[in-house]
Structure 1
Amino acid sequence: MTVTKTQVNIPKYAFEQDPSTGNTVFRIKKNDSLVNYRKAEFLVPHRKDYYFMAFIKKGGGRHWIDMTSYTIKPNKFYFTIPEQVTLKEQATQITGVIICFTKDFLALDENHSLRKLPIIENPHHGHELDLTPKDIVFIEDILEKIYLEYNAKGEWQNNMLLAYMEVLLIYLSRLYTEQFSQPKESPDRQLLKKYLSHIEEAFSEFHEVAAYADLMNISAGHLSEFVKKQSGKPAIVHIHERLILEAKRMLLHSDDSIKEIAFQLGFEDASYFNKFFKRLTQQTPLQYRTAIREIYH
């Protein structure tokens, strides 16, 4: 497994080419026995540079996504997107189907519509979808089609896989929208999504609304008005929430000092970072690190 280091000193696992098919952007696998993870992978926080999805038919287990622990349950659909921090707690006896794919696979979609789907953007930082019996029948059917195509090695294989995946991802996005209560799209909503996308790319560099307004070529007042209208939160709150999320990831999963974390998040003064963190969480960074690690352990 290829591992790289991120700016926050958390290992990042790269997508690996499937030796049996040679596919470098997509992989699907059926599991019907104990998952054989390397011992070194347990209790080690890491990120993936690819999308991961799993339909669990039977079995259980436990893992963490960011600061939330999940007990794996049967007849559920699990997913992560690049950069979420994952930690395995125990091996699991599962029956199900696992799909992994890269941003390059999504780029095969010339209309760029797939990357905008809720299940791909994951604006609510979700990880688990509930499935009805009807959902299970549909998902099992489309997964079987994807699995057969993947192993057929036919001409234009990635195009066929993309077509099947479009159906699956749209279906899952409907479930995501229903279960996470995502507001309906509108032109104003598109502006909000663009703003959130810029924050995701530059939260450690820019901490002020005006900086993002400049990136979007609109006034800070105009941006603030529309963000508040569409999300119900002031524009600055979205920046602060993203900074706090990353700070919590680092405090839990890395051994970097508070000063180092502050610097990596774009704070020149560690004392200001401490005040910022406490104001938003009612705990100092050190208090949070101590408390969350006690829960985790």
Structure 2
Amino acid sequence: MYLLKSTQEVPAYSLEQDPVLPGKLFSIKTFEGVRPHQSELLVPHKKEYYMFVLARRGGSRHWVDMTPYETRDNTLYFFGPNQVIVKEEPKCMWGTALAFDKEYLALHDNASLARLPIVRNEQNACELVLSEADIAFTEDMLAKIQKEFNQPGEWQQRMITAYLTVLVTYLSRLYSEQYESMMTSSDSSFLNKYQAAIEEHFREIHQVSEYAALLYVSPGHLRDVVKAQSGKPAITHIQERMVLEARRMLFHTEYSLKEIGFDLGFSDASYFSRFFKRETGATPAEYRALTREMYQ
């Protein structure tokens, strides 16, 4: 496995930079026996966009964060910003991939897409199992989107937005069904705001009271609402996000424990180690050794 040096950041590729799936804000492409781009193989990287891939023929292997996946036939895979991806094998791919970035979601007609469960991806998942009916529906919608994408015209963007909304809404229903045991049925609008604030500030803000100030509510109100909407204490959301980032860095990089701790806002490496062991049951060094063994 290629490990990033302590002087390297995890590469982040924009949609415009993607050599296989190029596009400024939105792109779709069908692959028939195409190999992954060599520059991405075995290199931990992030995508600065959302990507949905209907894999018609599986067999390749990749990692999302610290989880390995063997690509399966007729299965949907989805990725978003911040997830660390490693493509492990140069095997050919058959399927269709579509992608769009945050700027595309910010457009007025597309704003509702950002609120759908599979786009928010609160479970940090990346795989949907599809029934035959799901496959037929997904293939039909992808074909309609690709047809509009290949025929520029006055109505192109509206048609793409309409089809994309139907497709992503349908996939969000499947996402909710498959991950419903981990999801809350409560109204989660405030929870979403809280999680978005954590995503933006988790490196420098570790206290619930500081997030309450950002969201213009009292700490007590924030704790009560977050617990009611998620079933977890507010502080747990902060800690889980910090642990996820620590795991990513321990697994994919050669950063020292001091460097990882400093990146996450800890002034002392021993304090970071105690925090990590309290949350995971293993020291950072033990976790790094165990996950490297798992990868081999």
Q: TM-score range by the shorter chain?
A: over 0.9
Q: 2:28, 2:96 within 8 Å by CA — same for their partners in 1?
A: yes
Give the C-alpha shift of residue 183 in structure 1. Answer: 2.5
Q: 1:18, 1:27 within 8 Å by CA — same for their partners in 2?
A: no
Residues 259-278 of structure 1 mapped to structure 2, 5 A cutoff: 259-278=258-277
Give the C-alpha shift of residue 22 in structure 1. Answer: 8.7
Query: Which secondary structure does the structure 2 equivalent of 1:112 belong to?
Result: helix
Q: Which residue of 1 aligns with 2:172?
A: 173
Q: 2:36, 2:93 within 8 Å by CA — same for their partners in 1?
A: no
Q: Which residue of 2 aligns with 1:107?
A: 106
Q: Measure, in 2, the Cα distance between the counterparts of 1:16 and 1:277.
A: 37
Q: Which residue of 2 aligns with 1:279?
A: 278
Q: Number of residues paired by the alignment? A: 290
The AA in structure 2 aligned to 1:117 is L
Give the C-alpha shift of residue 285 in structure 1. Answer: 0.8
**C-alpha distance 190-199 of structure 1, shift in aligned 2 (>3 A):** same
Q: Which residue of 1 aligns with 2:252?
A: 253
Q: 1:52, 1:101 within 8 Å by CA — same for their partners in 2?
A: yes
Q: 2:184, 2:231 within 8 Å by CA — same for their partners in 1?
A: no
Q: Which residue of 2 aligns with 1:4?
A: none
Q: 1:209, 1:236 within 8 Å by CA — same for their partners in 2?
A: yes
Q: Which residue of 2 aligns with 1:3?
A: none
1:143-184: CA deviations, max 9, x gaps? 000111111122242332122111111011000111110333
Q: Measure, in 2, the Cα distance between the counterparts of 1:217 and 1:148.
A: 46
Structure 2 length-normalised TM: 0.92
Identity of aligned residues (%): 48
Structure 1 length-normalised TM: 0.92
Q: 2:15, 2:22 within 8 Å by CA — same for their partners in 1?
A: no
Query: Which secondary structure does the structure 1 equivalent of 2:136 belong to?
Result: helix
Q: Which residue of 2 aligns with 1:13?
A: 13
Q: Measure, in 2, the Cα distance between the counterparts of 1:272 and 1:183.
A: 33
Q: Which residue of 2 aligns with 1:29?
A: 29
Query: Which secondary structure does the structure 2 equivalent of 1:201 belong to?
Result: helix
Q: Measure, in 1, the Cα distance between the counterparts of 2:154 and 2:104.
A: 16
The AA in structure 2 aligned to 1:52 is M
Q: 2:31, 2:93 within 8 Å by CA — same for their partners in 1?
A: yes
Give the C-alpha shift of residue 60 in structure 1. Answer: 1.7
Q: Measure, in 1, the Cα distance between the counterparts of 2:99 and 2:274.
A: 40
Query: Which secondary structure does the structure 2 equivalent of 1:45 belong to?
Result: coil
Give the C-alpha shift of residue 269 in structure 1. Answer: 1.4
Q: Which residue of 1 aligns with 2:4?
A: none
**Unaligned regions of 5+ residues in structure 2, if any?**
1-6
Q: Measure, in 2, the Cα distance between the counterparts of 1:18 and 1:87.
A: 15
Q: Measure, in 2, the Cα distance between the counterparts of 1:82 and 1:8.
A: 18
Q: Measure, in 2, the Cα distance between the counterparts of 1:180 and 1:8.
A: 35
Q: 2:58, 2:70 within 8 Å by CA — same for their partners in 1?
A: no
Q: Measure, in 1, the Cα distance between the counterparts of 2:18 and 2:236.
A: 42
Q: Which residue of 1 aligns with 2:149?
A: 150
Give the C-alpha shift of residue 185 in structure 1. Answer: 4.6
| Correspondence 1:51 to 2:40 | no
**C-alpha distance 35-111 of structure 1, shift in aligned 2 (>3 A):** closer
Residues 164-243 of structure 1 mapped to structure 2, 5 A cutoff: 164-181=163-180, 182-186=183-187, 189-243=188-242
Q: Which residue of 1 aligns with 2:137?
A: 138
**C-alpha distance 103-266 of structure 1, shift in aligned 2 (>3 A):** same
The AA in structure 2 aligned to 1:205 is E
The AA in structure 2 aligned to 1:174 is R
Q: 2:12, 2:45 within 8 Å by CA — same for their partners in 1?
A: yes
**Unaligned regions of 5+ residues in structure 1, if any?**
1-6
Q: 1:8, 1:264 within 8 Å by CA — same for their partners in 2?
A: no
Give the C-alpha shift of residue 112 in structure 1. Answer: 2.2
Q: 1:8, 1:261 within 8 Å by CA — same for their partners in 2?
A: no
**C-alpha distance 135-282 of structure 1, shift in aligned 2 (>3 A):** same
Q: Measure, in 2, the Cα distance between the counterparts of 1:17 and 1:254.
A: 23
The AA in structure 2 aligned to 1:229 is A
Q: Measure, in 2, the Cα distance between the counterparts of 1:34 and 1:129.
A: 22
Q: Measure, in 1, the Cα distance between the counterparts of 2:253 and 2:13.
A: 16
Q: 1:77, 1:128 within 8 Å by CA — same for their partners in 2?
A: yes
Q: Measure, in 1, the Cα distance between the counterparts of 2:172 and 2:283.
A: 37
Q: Measure, in 2, the Cα distance between the counterparts of 1:103 and 1:159.
A: 18
1:177-212: CA deviations, max 9, x gaps? 1111033352xx211111111111111111010011
Give the C-alpha shift of residue 278 in structure 1. Answer: 0.8
**C-alpha distance 144-185 of structure 1, shift in aligned 2 (>3 A):** farther
